[in-house]
């Protein structure tokens, strides 16, 4: 986008301070944005080339494939934990409101309920738009909660809400059978002494079906894209349980030095 295009797309007074700030700095941020985009494209290529193995997908591969499957109108809501770190590294949002990230509040468990709230709000917007004569399918972005298994379990009861309200929310679980972020600290700060960071999860796909939602379990890399596509196309509440490698851990953010 060149300077004229930015001015032409400046439709509201709300954008003017941004334009003035950009003009004042000579659009110097562009090089930074382009470098970051280049870096992300390289990281995406690396992630896609490293899918991991059966029962132990690489979590960054999961996020890269998810990013490729989603479209420009879709909204992703992130839970916290390692899954959120991999997601932030790989997800490219199409909308300015297309990525809702609660992780700086460390809000483990918020992913599914926030996604339900977002989807309910969009449904109201769509109903109003339809009343005003908007074409069918207006604003039909999908809403995806990306969560770890620990976070998902904290508010799993909200699946009932989503099914009852007939909301097409898709929960994608990076399932490492544990509190991966806690494992990260235990590995880095406590000499890999593991205490209470492993979980014995139920089969989340089967659990979803018991709630009346759709459920998919992904054990092999080649099952991932078809499961995500089916869950997104179903138009119903769905859970995609992806078995990721429990030993692929992010460096902890706040490790003591």
Ligand X SMILES: Cc1ncc(C[n+]2csc(CCOP(=O)(O)OP(=O)(O)O)c2C)c(N)n1
Kindly list the residues in this chain that would bind Mg ion in the complex (CB under 5 A): 148-150, 176, 180
Q: Give the CA-trace dihedral at 208, 214, 216, 222, to 10 degrees.
A: -160
**78 strand-pairing partners:** 101, 146
83 touches ligand X by CB under 6 A: yes
For ligand X, what does the binding mask look like between residues 109 and 138, x meaning CB under 6 A?
x-----------------------------
What minimum distance in Å lies between the beta carbon of 243 and ligand X?
A: 12
- Say how many C-beta atoms besides its own lie within 10 A of residue 62's C-beta: 30
**101 strand-pairing partners:** 78
Residue 234 and residue 165 in contact, taking contact as beta carbons nearer than 8 Å: no
How many angstroms separate the CA atoms of 207 and 203, rounded? 6
Nearer to Mg ion, 184 or 237 (CB): 184
Stretch that binds ligand X, among 66-74, 75-83, 157-165, 186-194 (CB under 6 A): 75-83
Residue 14 gets which letter from DSSP? G
* Residue whose beta carbon is closest to ligand X: 148
What minimum distance in Å lies between the beta carbon of 150 and Mg ion?
A: 5
- Contact partner at residue 211 from Mg ion, ligand X, none, CB < 5 to 8 Å by partner kind: none
Residue from 52, 113, 117, 150 in contact with ligand X (CB under 6 A): 150
Size of the site for ligand X (CB under 6 A): 19
81 touches ligand X by CB under 6 A: yes
What minimum distance in Å lies between the beta carbon of 104 and Mg ion?
A: 19
Instruction: At 200, list the tokens.
Output: 């014995």
How many angstroms separate the CA atoms of 90 and 107, rounded? 20
Residues in the chain: 257
Residue from 180, 215, 221, 252 in contact with ligand X (CB under 6 A): 180
Residue 61 and residue 49 in contact, taking contact as beta carbons nearer than 8 Å: no
- Contact partner at residue 246 from Mg ion, ligand X, none, CB < 5 to 8 Å by partner kind: none
Q: Which residue has the tokens 């709630």?
A: 211
Nearer to ligand X, 113 or 150 (CB): 150
Nearer to ligand X, 27 or 185 (CB): 185
Computed over its alpha carbons, how large is the radius of gyration of the chain? 20
174 touches ligand X by CB under 6 A: yes
**77 strand-pairing partners:** 100, 145
Nearer to ligand X, 81 or 117 (CB): 81
- Say how many C-beta atoms besides its own lie within 10 A of residue 164's C-beta: 11
Applying CB under 6 A, which residues contact ligand X?
79-83, 106, 108-109, 148-151, 174, 176, 178-182
């Amino acid at each position: 986008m060149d300077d004229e295009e930015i001015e032409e797309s400046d439709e509201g007074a709300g954008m003017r301070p941004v334009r003035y700030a950009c003009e004042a700095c000579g659009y110097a941020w562009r090089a930074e944005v382009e470098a970051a985009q280049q870096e992300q494209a390289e990281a995406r290529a690396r992630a896609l080339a490293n899918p991991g193995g059966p029962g132990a997908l690489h979590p960054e591969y999961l996020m890269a494939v998810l990013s490729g499957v989603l479209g420009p109108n879709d909204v992703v809501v992130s839970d916290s934990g390692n899954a959120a770190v991999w997601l932030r590294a790989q997800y490219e949002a199409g909308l300015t409101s297309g990525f809702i990230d609660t992780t700086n509040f460390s809000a483990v468990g918020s992913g599914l309920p926030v996604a339900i709230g977002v989807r309910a709000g969009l449904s109201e917007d769509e109903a109003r738009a339809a009343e005003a004569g908007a074409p069918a399918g207006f604003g039909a972005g999908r809403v995806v909660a990306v969560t770890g298994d620990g976070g998902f379990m904290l508010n799993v009861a909200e699946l009932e809400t989503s099914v009852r309200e007939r909301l097409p929310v898709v929960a994608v679980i990076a399932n490492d059978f544990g509190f991966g972020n806690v494992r990260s600290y235990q590995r880095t700060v406590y000499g890999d002494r593991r205490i209470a960071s492993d979980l014995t999860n139920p089969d989340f796909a089967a659990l979803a079906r018991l709630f009346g939602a759709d459920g998919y379990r992904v054990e092999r890399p080649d099952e991932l894209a078809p499961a995500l596509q089916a869950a997104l196309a179903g138009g119903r509440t769905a859970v995609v349980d992806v078995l990721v490698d429990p030993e692929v851990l992010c460096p902890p953010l706040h490790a003591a030095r």
